Amino acid sequence: MPEMLTVLDVIQRSSAFLEGKGVESARLNAEWLIASSLGMDRMKLYMQFDRPLKEAELADMRSKVARRAKREPLQYILGTTPFHELELKVDQRALIPRPETEQLVELSLGSLGENDGEYRIVDLGTGSGAIALALAFALPRAEVFAVDASRDALELAQENALGCGLQNRVSFVLSDWFTDFDPEGEFDLIVSNPPYLTDEEMETAEPEVKDFEPRSALFAEKEGLSDLEQIVSGSYSRLKPGGVLWLETGILHREPLLELCKTQGYASAEGVEDWSGRPRFVKAVK
């Protein structure tokens, strides 16, 4: 007779297995995966530790744990991730939205003022649609454009818009930055989390990033600056006077970007640290 395994047995075995494969927070990862297989919230597992598991449940758990052991990101296996006040679908068509990018949304909102303004906003390199959708959700009267050079990423962003009930609030545009995107009128806010990793940073990145997330959304030429420079240069003429550009950047990019903002004619530019104190954001005002 086969051994009867309980929820706790599988959590403990999966945790040890994932830890051996170098997965950080192995126990937490195991709990998320097992809860996903059982179709329940992770916290409910704690009330079901003694529950015996059926073979079909175990097979699904083994499959998910095996994927995580190969360092596939947890969010891709679960298929969704929370972002700001939304739940977004995530897969290998786009980057997984990070907590730092939630801070970028907060900073962007803070620079606009009242939430009921009729703002015009563009999110350049929208990926999963995270920034554009979070801003559209928070700003009910804003006109929001989500731009990406990847057709696959745009399709994912549109699926997320539909899932969040925001499909009528955001316009999706296939364009390499401003190349095929030049609508009439100026913007109150341009925001972007573009590719900015260097060759060296790509090489030393965790397998979850290097082996699974789209390289085109991570790596940039010129020591990570090429896309950031295009955005700074292209945004100036498209912002209203007093309009704001917010960028998520690499760790060594602040000074060259502030210098570029100055030569482009922005009225002011400053660097802003993320919650961990890392120099991550640049704000420029026309």
**Strand, helix or coil at 106?**
helix
Q: Give the amino acid at 215.
A: R
Tens of pLDDT along 6-45?
999 999 999 999 999 999 999 999 999 999 999 998 999 9
| d(C-alpha 108, C-alpha 281), whole Å | 11
| Res 8: pLDDT | 94
Whole-number mean pLDDT of the chain?
94
What is the mean pLDDT of the segment spanning 246-262?
95
Res. 1: pLDDT tops 50? no
Res. 113: pLDDT tops 90? no
Backbone angles phi, psi at 247, to 5 degrees: -130, 140
Q: Is the pTM of this model over 0.85?
A: yes
Strand boundaries in 150-238, DSSP class E = 170-174, 187-192
Res. 61: pLDDT tops 60? yes
Asked whether the beta carbons of 107 and 134 are under 8 A apart, the reply is: no
Asked whether the beta carbons of 284 and 260 are under 8 A apart, the reply is: no
- Locate all alpha helices (DSSP H) within the chain, ordered by sequence: 7-20, 26-38, 55-69, 74-78, 99-110, 130-138, 151-163, 199-204, 207-210, 221-224, 226-235, 254-264
| Res 98: pLDDT | 92
Res. 238: pLDDT tops 60? yes
Tens of pLDDT along 176-198?
999 999 888 999 999 999 999 99
| pLDDT class of 114 with cuts at 50, 70, 90 | confident
Asked whether the beta carbons of 229 and 253 are under 8 A apart, the reply is: no
Domains of the chain, each with CATH number or no CATH? 7-70 (1.10.8), 80-285 (3.40.50.150)
Q: Give the amino acid at 117.
A: G
Helices 7-20 and 26-38: crossing angle in degrees, nearest 10, is 130
| pLDDT class of 2 with cuts at 50, 70, 90 | low
Q: Any idea what the Cα angle at residue 107 is, between residues 204 and 162, rounded to 5°?
A: 85
CA 209 and chain centroid, separation: 12
Pairing of strands 239-248, 187-192: parallel
Tens of pLDDT along 83-109?
999 999 999 999 999 999 999 999 999
Winning range, highest mean pLDDT, from 2-16, 48-62, 158-172: 158-172
Tens of pLDDT along 131-142?
999 999 999 999
Q: Which two tokens stand for residue 144?
A: 């929001």
What is the mean pLDDT of the segment spanning 238-251?
96
Largest CA distance in the chain: 76
| d(C-alpha 180, C-alpha 174), whole Å | 7
What is the mean pLDDT of the segment spanning 227-238?
96
